[in-house]
Structure 1
Amino acid sequence: MTRLLISTDLDGTLLDHHDYSFDAAEPMLQRLQTLQVPCILNTSKTFAELEPLRRRLGHSDPFIVENGAAVCVPADTALGRAMTPLERMGGYRYQCFGPERSDILERLRQLSGEYRFRGFADLDVEALVDCTGLDPAAATLALQRQFTEPLIWEDSDEALTRFAGALAESELQLQRGGRFVHVMGHCDKAGAMRWIARQYQSLWDEKVLVMALGDGENDVGMLQQADIAVRVRSPAHEPPEVPGRNDVRTTERQGPEGWYDAVEQTLRELDL
Structure 2
Amino acid sequence: MTPDPKTAPRLIVFSDLDGTLLCHDSYSWMQALPALKLMKTLGLPLVLASSKTAAEIAPLRADMGFLDCPAIVENGAGLLPAGQEAPVQGDAHEAILACLDRLPQDLRAPFRGFSDWSVEEVAARTGLALPEARLAVQRQFSEPGLWSGTEKMRLAFEAALAEGGIVARQGGRFLTLSFGATKADRMAEIAAGIAPRAVTMALGDAPNDVEMIEAADFGVIVRNLHGPGIAELPGEAEGRITRTAAQGPEGWNRAVLARISEQYEQRG
Same fold by TM-score greater than 0.5: yes
Which residue identity lines up with residue 70 of structure 1 in the other structure? Answer: G
1:80 paired residue number: none
1:148 paired residue number: 142
2:71 paired residue number: 63
Distance (whole Å) between structure 2 residues aligned to residue 167 and residue 242 of structure 1: 28
Contact 1:211 1:229 in 2 (8 A): yes
- Match runs of 1:236-255 below 5 Å: 236-237=226-227, 239-241=229-231, 243-245=233-235, 246=237, 247=239, 248-255=241-248
Distance (whole Å) between structure 2 residues aligned to residue 24 and residue 230 of structure 1: 17
SS in 2 for 1:114: helix
- 1:138-195 deviation line (CA, Å, top 9, x unaligned): 1111000000001111111111111111111111100001111000012111101111
By how many angstroms is 1:100 displaced?
Answer: 0.9
Higher strand share: 1
Distance (whole Å) between structure 1 residues aligned to residue 53 and residue 119 of structure 2: 15
Distance (whole Å) between structure 2 residues aligned to residue 93 and residue 137 of structure 1: 16
Spell out structure 1 runs of 4+ moving beyond 6 A. none
By how many angstroms is 1:243 displaced?
Answer: 3.9
SS in 2 for 1:264: helix
Q: Can you give the 5+ residue segments of structure 1 that lack an aligned partner in the other structure?
A: 76-90
- Match runs of 1:110-189 below 5 Å: 110-111=102-103, 113-115=105-107, 116-189=110-183
1:212 paired residue number: 202
1:25 paired residue number: 32
SS in 2 for 1:20: coil
Distance (whole Å) between structure 2 residues aligned to residue 93 and residue 257 of structure 1: 28
Task: Name the Cα RMSD after superposition.
Answer: 2.0
Distance (whole Å) between structure 1 residues aligned to residue 193 and residue 161 of structure 2: 31
TM-score by length of 2: 0.88
1:264 paired residue number: 257
1:85 paired residue number: none
Distance (whole Å) between structure 2 residues aligned to residue 183 and residue 105 of structure 1: 10
- Match runs of 1:33-44 below 5 Å: 33-44=40-51
Contact 2:172 2:229 in 1 (8 A): no
Change (3 A) 1:35 1:46: same
By how many angstroms is 1:92 displaced?
Answer: 6.3
Which residue identity lines up with residue 231 of structure 1 in the other structure? Answer: I
- 1:60-111 deviation line (CA, Å, top 9, x unaligned): 2211100001222225xxxxxxxxxxxxxxx3698xxx97101100001112
Distance (whole Å) between structure 2 residues aligned to residue 93 and residue 155 of structure 1: 34
Distance (whole Å) between structure 2 residues aligned to residue 22 and residue 196 of structure 1: 23
2:218 paired residue number: 228
Matched residues, percent identical? 39
Change (3 A) 1:138 1:271: same
How many residues are matched? 250
TM-score by length of 1: 0.87
1:73 to 2:81 alignment: yes
Q: Can you give the 5+ residue segments of structure 2 that lack an aligned partner in the other structure?
A: 1-5
Change (3 A) 1:107 1:228: same
SS in 1 for 2:76: coil
- 1:218-250 deviation line (CA, Å, top 9, x unaligned): 001111111100000012146402543233200
1:101 paired residue number: 93
Distance (whole Å) between structure 2 residues aligned to residue 193 and residue 242 of structure 1: 22
